[in-house]
């Protein structure tokens, strides 16, 4: 299985357009050893020819331009992107669908909650009906059904499992205050040819027994790297919101909650990768103390253009 990181940043990307924090300003001025990052999306392929997008970022145009793997190849109009799987209905994960409107009808895989948000409060899919249209593939993660295995046409050797995870629905969702099964999923992808597995979860609010079980089955983890610390945005004077308010488990834990670093260390995954990095996270600075801690643990920080072959 091939994994291509298109966008490794959280909403806003890095540096964020309106942000003058130490990290954003430092990156812009070339004072930090830190790479710019576009907003959250990855692509997965079995053969390197056809690709499935996991989330569609507002930066999709730039991301496709930057990656030859996703350029048109055959005929006058073409795309190797055959389907899009959505983890949630957040702006940074779905707005890129609008950027695909010039192409063929889009095969979209999502839960009922996400389809609902995207046809009501944030009607991206309804708008697309006036352009390329979408084929809906419902992932049966709702109510008491907390996981669903599925396949995607043209990707016979990949088996996908959508897993309900703790998280937050978007601020505009009627579910924002009351978590509903299907608002947020993680994806476990298994290559049936060699048994290798990848676990993808760019937004993960908490890791309990269940989540740890799914993560332990993976050879490669690509998980929520949004925040280093619970109050990082408050400390930087950027926002009053905490990591928990936004549905993200920070890398550092406390007395009552294990952090993402220790979660990753509790798994046997060969590749442990943080993704969806917010512009406030000190790990963006490659010379930071926090980055040294990750290096010491063999934890990687995803970057745009990162390729992983499992």
- Residues making contact with ligand MLT (CB under 6 A): 10-11, 90-92, 203, 246
What's the min distance (Å) between Cβ of 12 and ligand MLT? 6
Task: Report the nearest approach of ligand MLT to the CB of residue 14 (Å).
Answer: 11
**Toward Mn ion, which CB reaches closer, 58 or 282?**
58
Closest CA to 198 of 86, 49, 310, 31: 310
Question: Of the listed pieces 14-22, 33-41, 52-60, 247-255, which binds Zn ion according to CB under 5 A?
Answer: 14-22
CB nearer to ligand MLT: give 21 or 91: 91
How far, in Å, CA of 85 to CA of 289, rounded?
Answer: 35
* 145-154: long-range contacts, CB 8 A cutoff, minimum separation 24: 145/181, 146/181, 146/210, 150/109, 152/52, 152/82, 152/83, 152/85, 152/107, 152/109, 153/82, 153/83, 153/107, 154/50, 154/82, 154/83
Candidate residues 5, 10, 24, 125; the one interacting with Zn ion per rule CB under 5 A: 24
Query: How far is 35 from 23, CA to CA, in rounded Å?
Result: 11
Least Cα distance to 227 among 255, 260, 251 occurs for: 251
Rule CB under 5 A: is residue 21 a binding residue for Zn ion?
A: yes
In angstroms, give the least distance from the CB of 301 to ligand MLT: 16
Task: By CB under 5 A, tell whether 36 contacts Zn ion.
Answer: no
Under rule CB under 5 A, how many of the chain's residues touch Zn ion?
4
Site string for Zn ion, 244-283 (x = CB under 5 A): -----------------------------------x----
Q: Torsion-angle region of residue 305: left (phi > 0), alpha (psi -120 to 50) or beta? A: left
Which residues make up the interface to Zn ion (CB under 5 A)? 19, 21, 24, 279
């Amino acid at each position: 299985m091939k994994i291509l990181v298109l966008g490794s940043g959280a909403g806003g990307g890095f540096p964020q357009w309106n942000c003058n924090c130490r990290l954003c300003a430092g990156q812009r001025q070339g004072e930090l050893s830190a790479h710019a990052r576009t907003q959250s999306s990855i692509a997965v392929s079995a053969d390197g020819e056809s690709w499935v997008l996991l989330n569609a970022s507002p930066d999709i145009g730039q991301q496709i331009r930057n990656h030859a793997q996703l350029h048109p190849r055959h005929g006058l109009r073409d795309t190797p992107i055959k389907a899009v799987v959505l983890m949630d209905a957040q702006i940074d994960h779905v707005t890129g669908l609008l950027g695909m409107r010039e192409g063929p009808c889009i095969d979209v895989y999502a839960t009922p909650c996400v389809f609902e948000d995207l046809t009501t409060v944030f009607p991206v899919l309804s708008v697309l009906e006036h352009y390329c249209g979408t084929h809906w593939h419902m992932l049966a993660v709702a109510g008491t059904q907390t996981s669903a295995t599925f396949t995607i046409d043209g990707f016979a050797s990949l088996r996908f499992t959508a897993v309900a995870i703790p998280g937050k629905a978007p601020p505009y969702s009627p579910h924002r205050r009351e978590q509903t099964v299907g608002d947020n999923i993680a994806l476990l992808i298994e290559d049936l040819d060699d048994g290798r597995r990848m676990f993808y979860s760019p937004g993960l609010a908490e890791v309990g027994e269940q989540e740890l079980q799914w993560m332990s089955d993976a050879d490669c983890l690509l998980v929520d790297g949004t925040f280093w610390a619970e109050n990082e945005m408050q400390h930087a004077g950027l926002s009053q919101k905490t990591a928990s308010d936004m549905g993200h488990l920070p890398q550092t834990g406390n007395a009552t909650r294990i952090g993402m670093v220790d979660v990753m260390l509790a798994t046997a995954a060969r590749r442990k990768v943080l993704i969806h990095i917010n512009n406030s996270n000190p790990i963006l600075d490659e010379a930071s103390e926090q980055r040294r801690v990750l290096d010491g643990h063999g934890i990687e920080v995803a970057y745009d253009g990162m390729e992983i072959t499992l």
